[in-house]
Structure 1
Amino acid sequence: MRTTTPARRRRRKSALRAGAAAAVLALAATGCQGDDDASGGERGAQAAPRWNTAPASIAAVGDSITRGFDACSVLADCPEVSWATGNDPEVHSLATRLLGEALTPERSWNYAVTGARMADLGGQLTEAAAQHPDLVTVMVGSNDACRPTASSMTSVADFRADFEKALAGLRAAAPKTQVYVSSVPDLQRLWEQGKGSAMGRQIWKLGICQSMLADAESVTAGATARREKVRARVVEYNEALRQVCAKDELCRYDGGAVFQYPFTTEQLSHWDWFHPGKDGQARLAELAHRQVTSPRPPV
């Protein structure tokens, strides 16, 4: 039997203490690593963009709807009743609802152009980005579907590509600007509501949305198929808007709210029975305000 000397016992105790210390250090290191990951996750969550429900400045881009076309007089823009940036008290625009008395020309801009299509959005967003607004509203796509014929509608691929390019340009120039994207209205419903007006049908013959509104009273198989084709394209446009917007943390699509809204003749312009009148503009403002001020995006 081997005799254990005092010196050997001291060396063994030292080794045990060293091993225990090493184990404690290893455990602590593992725990610290976990804490670092957690704190890093918290830092990442804090750094992620958060939707501001009270933007202090707003720019609008899009087409005739955002310009208030035919809402005040025939075949003319009326931006003062725009759902996005107008100052008409009957409409109570999104800008008015958000900014109140702080609504001034230095905090609100309307770069929409009557007749604009998705291909024009990039240029409008470039103008808007120069102001570095807290929020930009986008409502465009009706004119991509409203063409002289159904066969001349903008392809979904081009529509998507142009939207991606426009949004990327905005993000490069104004990385913190939030974007509210309205769905394209249901053009077939607008036809259904307005076709009963003899004056409206006459205005339509001047060239308004012929892919949908031509031969407004016709219920032939060909006319029905044409209208359904236009509506289907609008549905595809809206899906493209949703998908592209979902890739940007500061972009909020309306979830189809405008497309699904049950517009009636009360909301349509009594000049052309197709574009929103003041009441329609007010409904658009109401829908947008609900979406913009919600803590969470629509499901």
Structure 2
Amino acid sequence: MRKQGHGSRAVLAALAATVLGVTGCDAVGGNSPGPSGTGAQKAKPRPAWDSSPASVAAVGDSITRGFDACAVLTDCPEVSWATGGSAEVDSLAVRLLGRAKAAERSWNYAVTGARMADLPGQMGQAAARKPGLVAVMAGANDACRASTSAMTPVADFRADFEDAIRILRRAAPKTQVYVASVPNLKRLWSQGRTNPVGKQVWKLGICPSMLGDADALDAAATERRNTVEQRVEDYNKVLKEVCAKDRHCRFDGGAVHDYRFGTGQLSQWDWFHPSVNGQARLAEIAYRAVTGKKA
């Protein structure tokens, strides 16, 4: 009987050792080494963000094309906040790469008038370059429609943005992404409506859902603008949430949306798109987001 008891104790000891081995993660102290193998790979910390990418690609809409910054109803990519070479702007690419390298190692695939549905195609072009960083600014045209009912549904906006990120990841899994928030369109209306020339240009069809009947302050006009404003906020929530799911993506935290564009930062031709000075301010915001440094 003693021998059997001794054997039972040995079995219990072995069993205890096995259990402790399986649950070792909970049994060891905070400074003890963690488990090895697959569990260790899952526990690896998020990789450090590279604040010095070797190249920059840009996707988006008219803002990233420098529309109406240099001449009326004309693109001016030279002053683009993302990739332009203008010394007045010092674009994100110039600040990150230097002027000479930016001219060789940055690409602008944005298209004036583009909406989020166009971003997957642009992202495919950018991904082919395998850039160190892709700068994204899109969404304003999804809210700037002929009417509020024609604005892009939030669910479609999300699906298109997710698709764009998937396309990038298939070709360039480690490319970093900077995502700018959609500007505050209602604030741009409130600033631009003080200029009679700008309001005449607005009648050509610039963001009618927000800028149509610019001087109207009745209940219907107010509700229309508030509806656009809410949709922009919804879009920015989508950008934040989708970006947060990608380990190599940074959202600007609403910095572009919150920036208080004044008349000096608006185009003298349409009083809505950024002027050269406004493009420079967007470049500063992007640089701070990408590097964590002051401009």
**TM-score normalised per structure 2:** 0.87
Shift of 1:104: 3.9
Deviation at 1:44, TM superposition (A): 4.5
1:191-226 residue CA offsets vs partner (Å, 9 max, x unmatched)? 000001111001000110000001111111111111
In structure 2, what is the equivalent of residue 268 of structure 1?
266
- Closer, same or farther: CA 232–32 of 1 in aligned 2, 3 Å: closer
SS at match of 1:103: helix
Judged with a 3 Å threshold, the aligned counterparts in structure 2 of structure 1 residues 42 and 89 are, in CA distance, closer, same or farther, namely farther
| Structure 2: tracts of 5 or more residues without a match | 26-32
In structure 2, the residue corresponding to 1:113 is in which secondary structure? coil
Alignment of 1:225-264 (within 5 A): 225-264=223-262
| Other-structure match for 2:149 | 151
Kept in 2, the 8 Å contact 1:79–1:86? The answer is: yes
Q: Are 2:64 and 1:66 equivalent residues in the alignment?
A: yes
Alignment of 1:277-288 (within 5 A): 277-288=275-286
TM-score when normalising by structure 1: 0.86
SS at match of 2:98: helix
- Using the alignment, how far apart are the partners of 2:217 and 2:149 within structure 1? 19
Contact 2:57 2:133 in 1 (8 A): yes
Q: Which runs of 5+ in 1 are unaligned?
A: 1-11
* Distance apart, 1:25 and its partner CA: 11
Match of 1:204 in 2: 202
Q: 1:140 aligns with which of 138, 141, 148?
A: 138
Question: How far 1:65 moved relative to its partner?
Answer: 0.2
Cα 1:29–1:189 change in 2 (3 A) is: same
CA RMSD in angstroms, aligned pairs only: 2.5
1:218 alignment partner in structure 2: 216
Shift of 1:47: 7.2
CA contact (8 A) 1:50 1:250 kept: no
Q: Secondary structure at the match of 1:112?
A: coil
For structure 1, which segment, 82-91 or 40-49, has the greater mean C-alpha deviation from structure 2 after superposition?
40-49
Using the alignment, how far apart are the partners of 2:148 and 2:42 within structure 1?
47
User: Between Structure 1 and Structure 2, how many residues are aligned?
Assistant: 283
1:38, distance to aligned residue in structure 2 (A): 3.8
Contact 1:70 1:269 in 2 (8 A): yes
Q: Write the distance in 1 (CA, Å) between the matches of 2:117 and 2:209.
A: 19
Q: Which moved more, 1:196-205 or 1:165-174?
A: 165-174
The 1:290/1:23 distance shift into structure 2, 3 A limit, reads same
1:39 to partner: Cα distance: 4.8
